């Protein structure tokens, strides 16, 4: 059944108390700037690289593929180092995936060049293939792979898990994912465009959304995870901050119209967008990071039991 968690103070205190009794126990090993595309196709100083954090001396660790945020336009995988390290100390291998970026002149006039969708999602697909094929080399489990992300990374994690096209092009199936963890993302790009168009900064509809996804309504629909919910069969943990509640609620409501129920939804009312990311990434104790750890460990144990 679908489980919805509204993050009350009492709930957070109780849940965090339980996790405070279990200390992270693994030392970690880090590999940075691993190129996941062929050298012949990568540009100099390519963004098509990933950082890998592994729990030391742990065989068969679950792998969490993590895509950071940045509006598809200015993300930096190295900003995700701390959350990767903290999850690695919990016994989870983490791959932080970088990808090519779109223009963002609305943020900085200097960010005037870049790629459009499909480039970002194709990069994620290439990274997943590389990680799947290199599991034995880095000693994590290719049978316990999870994917998630924050903000624009949440959109990309959801899209590659639901639209089978991108992994199929790499000879893989979305069935390789044992869990999906999108956090504070937007999942219906047409809705996102309309929200921007009717906001107090309507220029973002063009300068931001169209710069990333193109100008056609059809482009928005094809880029939307909500367009592929009939494919949803993988356990999902959806989280949102207070600012992104409406986007998460739209996804939740759309999923309710299907038969899929293996989903938990967590709304962090006390945090805005950046504050939730900082809490999960930087704070010594984070209830929301703990919920991610719990989800991955329980689903990994289920997979091992099979």
pLDDT tens sequence across 292-302: 999 999 999 87
pLDDT in tens, 41-83: 776 668 999 999 999 989 899 999 999 999 999 989 999 999 9
Per-residue pLDDT at 19: 47
Query: Are 196 and 205 within 8 A, CB to CB?
Result: yes
User: pLDDT category, 21, cuts 50, 70, 90?
Assistant: very low
User: pLDDT category, 95, cuts 50, 70, 90?
Assistant: very high
User: Above 70 in pLDDT, residue 8?
Assistant: no
Q: What is the mean pLDDT of residues 208-233?
A: 96
pLDDT in tens, 152-201: 999 999 999 999 999 999 999 999 999 999 999 999 999 999 999 999 99
Q: What is the mean pLDDT of residues 98-125?
A: 95
Per-residue pLDDT at 254: 97
Q: What is the mean pLDDT of residues 133-148?
A: 97
């Amino acid at each position: 059944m679908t489980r919805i968690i509204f993050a009350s103070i009492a709930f957070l205190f109780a849940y965090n108390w339980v996790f405070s009794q279990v200390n992270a126990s693994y030392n970690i090993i880090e590999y940075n700037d691993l190129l996941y595309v062929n050298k012949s196709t990568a540009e100099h100083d390519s963004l098509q690289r990933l950082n890998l954090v592994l729990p030391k001396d742990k065989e068969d660790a679950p792998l969490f593929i993590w895509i950071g945020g940045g509006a598809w336009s200015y993300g930096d995988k190295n900003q995700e180092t701390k959350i990767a390290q903290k999850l690695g100390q919990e016994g989870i291998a983490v791959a932080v995936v970088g990808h090519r970026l779109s223009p963002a002149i609305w943020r900085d006039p200097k960010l005037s060049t870049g790629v459009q969708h499909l480039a970002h999602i194709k990069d994620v697909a290439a990274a997943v293939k590389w990680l799947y094929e290199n599991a034995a080399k880095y000693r994590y489990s290719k049978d316990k792979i999870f994917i998630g992300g924050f903000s624009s990374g949440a959109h990309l994690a959801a899209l590659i898990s639901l639209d089978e096209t991108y992994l199929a092009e790499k000879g893989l199936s979305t069935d390789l994912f044992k869990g999906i963890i999108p956090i504070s993302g937007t999942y219906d790009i047409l809705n996102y465009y309309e929200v921007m168009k009717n906001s107090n900064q309507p220029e973002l509809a063009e300068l931001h959304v169209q710069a990333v996804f193109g100008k056609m309504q059809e482009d928005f629909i094809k880029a939307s995870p909500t367009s592929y919910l009939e494919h949803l069969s993988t356990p999902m943990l959806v989280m949102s901050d207070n600012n992104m509640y409406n986007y998460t609620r739209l996804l939740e409501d759309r999923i309710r119209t299907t038969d899929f129920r293996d989903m938990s939804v967590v709304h962090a009312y006390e945090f805005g967008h950046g504050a939730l990311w900082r809490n999960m990434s930087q704070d010594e104790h984070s209830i929301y990071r703990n919920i991610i750890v719990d989800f991955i460990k329980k689903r990994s144990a289920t997979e091992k039991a099979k």
